[in-house]
Structure 1
Amino acid sequence: MGLDKSRVSGQVWENEFIHWNPEDYCGITEVAVATDALWKPDITIQDMIDKDKSTPCPYMMVYHNGSVEHKNDQVVVSTCRMHAYKFPFDTQSCDLSFRSVMYWDDAIQLIPSENSTEATKGSLKTLRTQYEWLFINITITKGKVTPFIHQHDVITYSILMKRRSVLYVVNFVLPVLFFFVLDFASFLISDTGGEKLGFKITVLLAVTVMQLLFNEILPSASDRVPLIAVFCVGIFFLMLLSLLESIVVLHLINKDEKQHQEPDQDEVYRQLKGTVCLHVL
């Protein structure tokens, strides 16, 4: 038993026990029957991690040539491994695998109703992605799995998506760069006084707050440290060195001023001592 490749809406299979001549029944070529009245394949999505909460279709169409069509729209919540090394300029691929739970490949043979190109064109017409992800294409592959003893046919739909990175660049990358430019421009501030040191500490605290916000938006499941995290740590390290440089410079300036003031105090002390000696004489 196989799926009819001529139909792309839902699941289609042949029931050899249902046939009639439309001329004998007033030209009726199709009829809707309840889903519980006939057998239907137990096709499931093995990547689903949550129960489908959509309302199932209570009917399926039966055609005079024995074809049975079942349309069942589902809200699928699945999981896939994230590769966040290039975040937020990354592309992700998530798989949806369809297979039968009870029937092996000798009983049910799964055949995709369309190829990857047709599926991609159809998805581009129907999808209206306005959120974080941008749909690129769908790749359809057919294979076999052996969950227990017998082999089962499996059809995998690999969905390739690209993250919309504009918001991350505007809301995070550019502000961090602006703070770094401000910290670099602080070298033009005079080292005399505490304005320069206070300015650098303020900018460093602002970058620290940005990093705390970044931890909330960065995907936690990743094998490698994302490049944007290395970028933030590098910026923070350079700004920390700049702050330490300002502290050292202020310390050296204060030390140099004290060294110039000490000889003057000794000279005043010698002059006072000489005056006292002259009065005594």
Structure 2
Amino acid sequence: MMHVAFLLLVVFTVAAAPSKKVCSYQDILDYLNLTTNNSVFKLTRPVLDYTHPTTVELDIILFAILAVMWNNERISWDPAQFCGIRQIAVPRDMLWRPDLFIYEMIQKDDSPLNPYMHVSYDGIVTSEEDMRVVSTCKMDVHKFPFDTQRCNITVGSAAHCIDEIRLFPFSNSSRATQFSREVMKTQGEWEFLQLSVNSSNYTIHDRQWELLVYTFTMKRRPLLHVINFLLPILFFLSLDLASYFIADHRGEKLGFKVTVLLAISVLLLILNEILPSMSNNTPLIATYCIVIFALMLLSLLETILVTYLMEKDSASQELSLRENCKGKQEKVKIDECNTDENRKTCCSCICKASDSEKQHEMLPVAEEVLHYRFRYRIICTSQMDEIV
């Protein structure tokens, strides 16, 4: 009897104990009617009254992680009725999404899309996308390579005006700047300085549109360009100045200057590839290179002119020296032939020997002629030395 009473007590205790409720995400989807007919949730803007604007909060960091949040007025549930579930993930095609796009974007994003969106119990829908943004940016390279650039990323809606969608930044400028610096691993040529967020409006056809403008401020790291470009140009200019101490023999100085000028031309081609083709102001580095190139070109022209004048002066001195030598040669011949001792010899040199003369009779005359020729060469050489 006691055993039966104990068993009955256990049965009543188990039956009286509250059973734990089992919940699933599907229960929430069924409750929200997202499984049977979800056209109501994605065809139109999710508001119960069309006069209520949809508030969209936007967040962008340097790696283009685009986070968008908005309120869907048709979605809400009590977490207490669903085991405390406060958030679920649904496919992105099941709900309406704001038509946001980047105005400066020039290339379609090929990054894989996030297939899900997060929906909270109070109707807040969150969508996060990893994007690779290729955009246009107006650059001012006047102070290249010591320049600082500011590029804008403007986000807005294409179909909904300010009465239908209001855009607000999720993070302020300081928080966005701090988070962007934390996620950056390498910066390469550019140093990230600041990310600022501003709101602006514009009007088209009596309708006002709201935009969010994210401004990225970056500073170029100049060390690489200074080592690879500015210093070599200074070195080439120093070599060109040092070439004035080179003795000009057989055109070595002229060839050296031409080689240095060609090296500067190669550096100018490299600069043309680095700088953007369109700029409002002329870069200072381009002016710097043009001035150095002009100085080296003038130096080359000066060397060519000096070489030409030196060769012309040398040719005139040589011609004058030859004329002086020729005049002295004729004078020496006349003086030598006018003497009594050498008159016969000179005449013998001029007269033609007859066939009856023997070979040994001509030898003294030939020896005298060679003697006077050698003497003339000595006199002419001494006169040239005096002129030099």
The residue that corresponds to 2:167 in the other structure is: 110
Displacement of 1:5: 8.5
Displacement of 1:95: 0.7
Q: Is the 8 A contact 1:192 1:250 kept in 2?
A: no
SS in structure 2 of the partner of residue 94 of structure 1: strand
Asked if 1:101 corresponds to 2:158, the answer is yes
Select which of 233, 250, 256 maps to 1:199: 256
Select which of 328, 331, 335 maps to 1:274: 331
The residue that corresponds to 1:2 in the other structure is: 55
Superposition pairs of residues 80-99 of structure 1, within 5 angstroms:
80-99=137-156
Distance in 1 (alpha carbons) for counterparts of 2:249 and 2:239 = 19
Superposition pairs of residues 114-263 of structure 1, within 5 angstroms:
114-263=171-320
Residue 147 and residue 72 in structure 1: after superposition, are their counterparts in 2 closer, same or farther (change >3 A)?
A: farther
Q: Is the 8 A contact 2:141 2:147 kept in 1?
A: yes
Select which of 34, 48, 51 maps to 2:108: 51
The residue that corresponds to 1:71 in the other structure is: 128
Displacement of 1:148: 4.1
Distance in 1 (alpha carbons) for counterparts of 2:249 and 2:305 = 13
Residue 215 and residue 268 in structure 1: after superposition, are their counterparts in 2 closer, same or farther (change >3 A)?
A: same
Distance in 2 (alpha carbons) for counterparts of 1:264 and 1:76 = 81
Answer 1 or 2: higher relative contact order, Cα 8 Å, separation at least 6: 1
Q: What count of residue pairs does the alignment treat as equivalent?
A: 280
Q: Is the 8 A contact 2:74 2:123 kept in 1?
A: yes
Between Structure 1 and Structure 2, the one with more helix by share is 2
Cα deviation 1:154-176 (Å, max 9, x = unaligned): 00001111122211111111111
The residue that corresponds to 2:6 in the other structure is: none
The more displaced of 24-33 and 193-202 is: 193-202
Displacement of 1:21: 1.0
Distance in 2 (alpha carbons) for counterparts of 1:236 and 1:10 = 52
Distance in 1 (alpha carbons) for counterparts of 2:95 and 2:118 = 11
SS in structure 2 of the partner of residue 247 of structure 1: helix
Residue 130 and residue 86 in structure 1: after superposition, are their counterparts in 2 closer, same or farther (change >3 A)?
A: same
Q: Is the 8 A contact 2:57 2:167 kept in 1?
A: no
Displacement of 1:264: 2.2
Distance in 2 (alpha carbons) for counterparts of 1:269 and 1:128 = 87
Q: Is the 8 A contact 1:3 1:113 kept in 2?
A: no
TM-score, structure 1 as length reference: 0.93
Distance in 2 (alpha carbons) for counterparts of 1:188 and 1:207 = 21
Displacement of 1:257: 2.4
Q: Which amino acid aligns with 2:232?
A: P
Q: Is the 8 A contact 2:144 2:283 kept in 1?
A: yes
Q: Is the 8 A contact 1:129 1:135 kept in 2?
A: no
Q: Structure 2 stretches of 5 or more lacking a match?
A: 1-53, 339-388
SS in structure 2 of the partner of residue 10 of structure 1: strand
Cα deviation 1:182-234 (Å, max 9, x = unaligned): 01111111134321111111111111111122211121111222111111111
Superposition pairs of residues 6-21 of structure 1, within 5 angstroms:
10-21=67-78
SS in structure 1 of the partner of residue 168 of structure 2: coil
- For the pair shown, which has the larger CA radius of gyration, 1 or 2? 2
Displacement of 1:26: 0.9
Asked if 1:41 corresponds to 2:94, the answer is no
SS in structure 1 of the partner of residue 93 of structure 2: coil
Q: Is the 8 A contact 2:100 2:158 kept in 1?
A: yes
Displacement of 1:4: 5.3
The more displaced of 264-273 and 181-190 is: 264-273
Q: Structure 1 stretches of 5 or more lacking a match?
A: none
